[in-house]
Amino acid sequence: MVSKAKRTKRKLRASALIAATAAAVLALTACGGGSEPKSADGKVELRFSWWGGDQRAKLTQEAIKAFEAENPNITVKAEFGDWSGYWDKLATQVAANDAPDIIQMDEKYITEYSTRGALLDLSKYKIDTSKMDEAALNAGKGEKGLTGIAAGINAATILANPAVFQAAGVPMPDDKTWTWDDFERIAAEVTAKSPKGTYGAAAYGTDEASLGVWLRQNGKSLYTQDGKLGFEPSDIKDYWEFLKDMSDKKAVPSASEIVEAEAAPLDQSGLATGKNGMAFWWSNQLPALEKAAGGELQILRFPSKTGKADDAGLWYKASQFWSASSRSKHPEEAAKFIDFLTNNVKAGEILLADRGVYPNSDVREAIAPKLAKADVKVVDFIDSIKDELGDAPAAPPKGAGAIQEIIKRYTSEVMFNRLSAEEAGKKAVDEMKSAIS
Amino acid sequence: MSAIGELSSMTRRKGPMTKEEKKANGRDNKAAYVFLLPWLLGLAVITVGPMFMSLYLSFTDYNLLQPPEWVGLDNFVRMFGDARLHNSLRVTFTYVLVGVPLQLAVALVIALVLDKGLRGLPFYRSIFYLPSLLGGSVAVAILWKQIFGTTGLVNQVLAMIGIQGPGWISDPNTALGSIILLHVWTFGSPMIIFLAGLRQIPVMYYEAAKVDGATTLQQFWRITLPMLSPIIFFNLVLQIIGSFQSFTQAFIVSGGNGGPSDSTMFFTLYLYQKGFGQFDMGYASAMAWFLLVIIGVFTAINFIASKYWVFYDD
């Protein structure tokens, strides 16, 4: 009896030990599950992350397939999402030493990431930049070298929905001669002649592009060359006071409608759903917006103070950058992929103008016949403003990623009458200064 | 012999153990530790380790991308001058001090109704518990956003009776209220606990009260509430701790920015923004420890105050 009990006990203990060890090993491996450097068959896996809508996801995945067909030993794994969640995720990944190999970067964050050593100096790798537009190429250069290759060229624009204008019986504005007062008047007229809930224009104040244009038209800028804030509280005060005036005249929506519109993704934005006659977008977003709106849209220059297109103060922006993680285990392959996206005509024929006008002049020419109507519109617009451009703006300094949120927040403080435009200007400028210092 | 039986016989036995027994006991302990190992590892790696790491980080300037730099009490000093942090405290306290009592009151009322011996009780219990399962989820927060939007369900109903409602979640005056309402709606888990507590109150008290001619209201004040006070206390402590840490609803409803105008900027949301939006992980860690202190103080106050109103019937 006793011996039998002992034996079962010992057996039990042995199996328990095995079970416990197995559990412990499992727990440990679950934590240590990092990226595999190379699988047995010599294949390299790259991770590639970007932000953007459905259209972009589709095109980019096609481009990945084309790359994989040319490079059978490399597979590219896509990670994509909306703009809003993208940066939180990226920050966490980089901190956890788990950054994607290829990162779609924005000018607001590139200095942040590059000065902290998170991005690869791409000039040290085999990427042909000889055909790149010079300004676009320079935008990706910083103190840590070439940390981003421009994926496209963009301009800040106002997109208009002709259907809304037509329904209201208001003629489309002439964007070569219009002033901000014209903008307000026309937008208010559209609102007045449209069904309830439709407004002549969306509000600005939810991003820094419109503020950038406003400041440039007033002889200021968002940032100075030495990385400081380029404007005073009084400048942004005027910007908000005009917005408030437009909202009072119903040229743009009410405060709480503005807040709601902020959260909507591109496909459900006021312009796409026919609730806005005009809205502030980047030029490369036109094709996706046209698709969502189910009709044609028109690109307009920003209004100016003087009514002269030359004074609109527009500029070419690198829409996005291709960057690579400095901790990538396959920098060569990552560079190869970036080179493919930048210089390969096949990639160009797939991506077309989704990320802006191609900065590589050869690719741009080669894909011209393939461009869809919407893309042609974008390219034509970019070409047509070439002689009207103001000086290239200073690169956003470290910490510039916080500026948009500050503008947004104080815009609603002003719109909800919680702060006067003057107080908001002072507070906002203080906060912005400390964000980029 | 079952393990539990063995365990209880071991603890019950008095007197010194023999050498052999000690040895066996030691072996059993070793086996126990081996079994505990996965959990212990998890605790160390996933909970305790990061906690101490965050304590260390709270004394540093850490931007996620570069190694942390020791700055002493700097982060804590900075909190005193941070107006947005003060605002986030105001928002969080409003949420806790309004939301928790409201939620518990609703939970108690529903529990009282259900306790009246309704037919199909398990069914109703499940129905009322459902929001609690869903309420913390992202989907419901998104749903909430639709319902309380400018052209949402609530305003459509209001429009039928001729009232033009505001954009509940997009107006800084009503946004926090909408989130508090979402919190109140998830009254299920305190309700279940109340229900269990109500079942524990001996019927004889009520019978005796009835004989003495006590009204229903008197019975509630004199019997139900005192008898239920330990349960109320339990729920209060749990809910206060949980509410201080709530994050998901505000994050989703405001689209992650605590807006409009910071009116739904919860402490945790601000912490998150500081850490992951502005790469100020040292400051965010300091905030986390500050929140721990706040919750600790509130829980201590709760326990001290409980001496004056919680009645233990034993």
DSSP for A69-107? HH-TTEEEEEEEE-HHHHHHHHHHHHHTT---SEEEE-H
Residue with tokens 């008095």: B14
What are the structure tokens assigned to B13, written together?
């036995």
Angstroms from A107 CA to nearest CA on chain B? 16
Residues of chain B with CATH 1.10.3720.10: 74-309
Model confidence pLDDT, tens digit, residues B18-59? 777 777 777 888 888 888 999 999 998 888 999 999 999 999
Is the pLDDT confidence value at A8 over 60? no
Model confidence pLDDT, tens digit, residues A117-157? 899 999 999 888 888 888 788 888 888 899 999 998 889 99
* Amino acid of residue B136: G
pLDDT of residue A130: 87
What are the structure tokens assigned to B313, written together?
């019937």
> How far apart are the C-alpha atoms of B165 and B169, rounded to whole Å?
11
Q: Mutating which of B65, B169, B281 best tests the A interface, going by the most A Cβ atoms within 10 A?
A: B65
Radius of gyration of chain A (CA): 26
Model confidence pLDDT, tens digit, residues A205-250? 888 889 999 999 999 999 998 889 999 999 999 999 999 999 999 9
Contact yes or no for A192/A251 (Cβ under 8 A): no
| Global confidence as pTM | 0.79
A46 or A23: which carries more pLDDT confidence? A46
Angstroms from B186 CA to nearest CA on chain A? 25
pLDDT of residue A33: 39
Does the CB of B280 have a partner CB in chain A at under 8 Å? no
Angstroms from A60 CA to nearest CA on chain B? 26
pLDDT of residue A14: 52
DSSP A391: P
Least confident stretch, A8-12, A318-322, B19-23, B238-242? A8-12
A295 or A34: which carries more pLDDT confidence? A295
Q: What percent of chain B has pLDDT over 70?
A: 93
Pairing of the two strands A199-201 and A276-282: parallel
- Sketch out chain A's domains with CATH numbers: 4-152+319-385 (3.40.190.10), 156-315+397-436 (3.40.190.10)
* Range B74-309 classified under CATH 3.40.1260.10: no
Which residues of chain A does B167 touch, with a Cβ-Cβ cutoff of 8 Å? Answer: 256-257, 259-260
Pairing of the two strands B60-61 and B69-70: antiparallel
Does the CB of B276 have a partner CB in chain A at under 8 Å? yes
pLDDT of residue B57: 92
pLDDT of residue B14: 56
Could you state, in chain order, the average pLDDT of each consecutive group of 10 residues for chain B (314 residues)? 44 63 79 89 90 92 84 90 91 94 93 81 82 73 80 83 79 87 86 90 89 88 90 92 88 79 90 85 94 94 90 73
Q: If you write DSSP's letter for every residue of A128-188 in order, what string do you get? A: --TTB-HHHHHHTEETTEE--EE--EE-EEEEE-HHHHHHHT-PPP-TTT-BHHHHHHHHH
Contact yes or no for A244/A421 (Cβ under 8 A): yes
Instruction: Kindly give, in sequence order, each residue whose CB lies less than 8 Å from that of residue B234, ignoring residues fewer than 6 positions away.
Output: B193
A430 or B132: which carries more pLDDT confidence? A430
Model confidence pLDDT, tens digit, residues A60-113? 999 999 999 999 999 999 999 888 789 888 988 888 889 999 999 998 889 888
pLDDT of residue B10: 46
Quickly state the pLDDT bin for A1 (edges 50, 70, 90).
Answer: very low
Which residues of chain A does B259 touch, with a Cβ-Cβ cutoff of 8 Å? Answer: 259, 262, 408-409, 412
Instruction: Kindly give, in sequence order, each residue whose CB lies less than 8 Å from that of residue B28, ignoring residues fewer than 6 positions away.
Output: none
Which residues of chain B does A404 touch, with a Cβ-Cβ cutoff of 8 Å? Answer: none
Could you tell me which of A337, A312, A334, A315 has the C-alpha nearest to residue A325?
A334
Which residues of chain A does B276 touch, with a Cβ-Cβ cutoff of 8 Å? Answer: 88, 91-92
- Sign of the C-alpha dihedral computed for residues B187, B189, B194 and B196 taken in this order: positive
> How far apart are the C-alpha atoms of B115 and A229, rounded to whole Å?
64
- Closest chain B residue to the Cα of A400, Cα to Cα: B278
Q: B60-91 b/e with 16+ CB inside 10 Å = b?
A: bbbbbbeebeebeebbbebeeeeeebebbbeb
Instruction: Kindly give, in sequence order, each residue whose CB lies less than 8 Å from that of residue A228, ignoring residues fewer than 6 positions away.
Output: A397, A433, A436
pLDDT of residue B135: 63
CB contact under 8 A, B167 and A257: yes
Model confidence pLDDT, tens digit, residues A253-264? 988 888 888 777
Q: Mutating which of B2, B29, B34 best tests the A interface, going by the most A Cβ atoms within 10 A?
A: B34
Which residues of chain B does A85 touch, with a Cβ-Cβ cutoff of 8 Å? Answer: 256
> How far apart are the C-alpha atoms of A16 and B37, rounded to whole Å?
12
Pairing of the two strands A156-160 and A276-282: antiparallel
pLDDT of residue A5: 53
Mean pLDDT of chain A: 85
> How far apart are the C-alpha atoms of A128 and A96, rounded to whole Å?
31
Cα dihedral B245, B247, B248, B254, rounded to 10, equals 160
Residue with tokens 């940032």: A223
pLDDT of residue B1: 38
CB contact under 8 A, A409 and B256: no
> How far apart are the C-alpha atoms of B263 and B184, rounded to whole Å?
18
CB contact under 8 A, B167 and A416: no
